[in-house]
């Protein structure tokens, strides 16, 4: 979804229209949802993350304030919203154990989700941004406003920690 061709085509920002926005929504929702749902505790939180991201892009794009490809802004806002959810979750000990559990969340998915939550929120969201969005180091650097080297080292740290969480230390 996010290959080199996408980057090239997005260098010229398409003029805003409802149709263009809906096309962006259709094209990106799978990735935004995968990122949000894997990080958030339930569908409702993930929907809030998606809503915040799409409304943010909509307003910037409609008002002519967009200075980057809409997809970049979209994923950055989604990442920030997801970080807020993760921080809020740990801070407030939000425990909805008695509510019905998500029937789609199997053991394997639950294990991955729990491991992601043990990472720093910024690292976990960056990891999902890369995995779900399919972004290269260069694209991630542009989205985050950081150097490629910084992105590379953050991803390395996150990936090694997540591997340890799931598979244990190396022998």
Partner 1 sequence: MAHRVGSRAVEELVIASIDGALGEADIRALRAHLTTCAECSALAQQHERLTQRLASPVASETARLTSLQRLRERDKRRGLFSVHLPRLALGVARALIVALVAIGGALGIGEGVGRSQIPEREVVAQKTETLGGDTVVLTVEDGRFAAQSGQTSGILVSADLQLATRRAGSTELRFAVQGEPYGVLGGAPDLTGVTKLRLENRIPPVDSPTIFEIWIHVEAPDPVDSDHVVIRVVPAYGGLRARGL
From the CB of 142, what's the least distance to partner 1, in Å? 16
43 binds partner 1 (CB under 8 A): yes
- The H or E element spanning position 111 is helix 107-117
Q: How far is residue 5 CA from its own chain's centroid?
A: 21
Residue 137 touches partner 1, criterion: CB under 8 A: yes
**Smallest distance from partner 1 to CB 16, Å:** 11
Q: Looking at beta carbons only, is 94 or 118 nearer to partner 1?
A: 94
Alpha-carbon gap, residue 85 to 91, rounded angstroms: 10
The residue range among 6-14, 64-72, 156-164 that interacts with partner 1, by the rule CB under 8 A, is 156-164
65 binds partner 1 (CB under 8 A): no
- Which residues does 119 contact at the CB level (< 8 Å), separation at least 6? 127, 158, 161, 162, 165
Which residues have CB under 8 Å from 36's CB, separation 6+? Answer: 45, 46, 49, 50, 78, 81, 82
Q: How far apart are CA 142 and CA 165, in angstroms?
A: 29
User: With CB under 8 A as the contact rule, which of the stretches 6-14, 68-76, 122-130 interacts with partner 1?
Assistant: 122-130
64 binds partner 1 (CB under 8 A): no
The HSE-up count of residue 165 (CA atoms within 13 Å, CB side) is 17
Number of residues counted as binding partner 1 (CB under 8 A) = 56
Interacting residues with partner 1 (CB under 8 A): 18, 22, 25-26, 29-31, 33-34, 37-38, 43-44, 46-48, 50-52, 54-56, 58, 62, 81, 84, 92-99, 104, 108, 112, 127-128, 130-132, 134, 136-137, 152, 155-156, 159-160, 162-163, 166-167, 170-171
């Amino acid at each position: 979804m996010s290959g080199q061709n996408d980057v090239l085509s997005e260098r010229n920002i398409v003029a805003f229209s409802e149709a263009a926005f809906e096309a962006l929504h259709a094209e990106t929702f799978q990735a935004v949802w995968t990122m949000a749902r894997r990080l958030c505790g339930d569908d409702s939180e993930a929907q809030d993350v998606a809503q915040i991201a799409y409304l943010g892009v909509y307003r910037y794009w409609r008002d002519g304030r967009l200075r980057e490809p809409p997809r970049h802004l979209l994923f950055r806002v989604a990442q920030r919203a997801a970080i807020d959810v993760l921080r809020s979750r740990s801070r407030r000990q939000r425990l909805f154990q008695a509510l019905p559990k998500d029937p789609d969340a199997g053991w394997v998915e639950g294990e991955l989700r729990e491991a992601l939550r043990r990472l720093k929120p910024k690292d976990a969201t960056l990891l999902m941004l890369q995995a779900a969005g399919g972004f290269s180091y260069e694209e991630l650097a542009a989205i985050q406003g950081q150097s490629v080297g910084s992105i590379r080292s953050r991803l390395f740290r996150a990936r090694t920690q997540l591997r340890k969480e799931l598979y244990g230390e190396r022998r």
